[in-house]
Amino acid sequence: MAQRVTAWVGWVWFAAFAILVSGLFTLIAGAVAVFSPKTVVSWTPDGIAVVDVSTWGWVHLVLGALLLLVGFALFSGSGWARVTAIVLVILNLLAQFVSLPVTPWWSLVAIALDLVILWALTVHGDEVARANR
């Protein structure tokens, strides 16, 4: 029995565009962290925390570039692109949690966007392959 493509396939196209945007902003955030001062001082209730952001900047640069690549690959509807996108979005989600003390507002926006992307790819991701047949 052939499964039909529903209008929910639009969520996967949204996820692909959102991954492109998220990848671009992650790339920019990584570049800013790499080329900015090497440490960030954060005030906590327990005292002062000094965070070296250059290493995380490189992580964000690589992750942002990979997100851009997989975002473009998602438009093909291939299964490997969807699985790779899910893995990279989960890694980006974790990286944003780690970056939360340094860039709280952007990290919260990125976390929310990553959760919507994950939902779209896991619930409706297989419809893209059917739509491209």
Domain ranges for the chain, please list them: 13-131
Ordered alpha helix ranges (H), the chain: 9-35, 53-74, 79-98, 104-124, 126-131
Q: Across all residues in the chain, what is the average pLDDT?
A: 82
Candidates 80, 71, 88; CA nearest to 96 is 88
pLDDT in tens, 31-59: 888 887 666 666 667 777 666 677 788 88
Q: Is the pLDDT of residue 11 over 70?
A: yes
Report the alpha-carbon distance of residue 112 to residue 70 in Å, rounded. Answer: 19
60 with 27: CB under 8 angstroms? yes
The values of phi and psi at residue 43, to 5°, are: -90, 125
Average pLDDT (73-93) is 90
Quote the pLDDT of residue 45: 74
Q: Please, which residues have CB within 8 angstroms of residue 133's CB and are 6 or more apart in sequence?
A: none
Look up the pTM and report it: 0.79
58 with 30: CB under 8 angstroms? yes
> Which amino acid type is present at position 131?
A
Residue 87 structure tokens? 């893995």
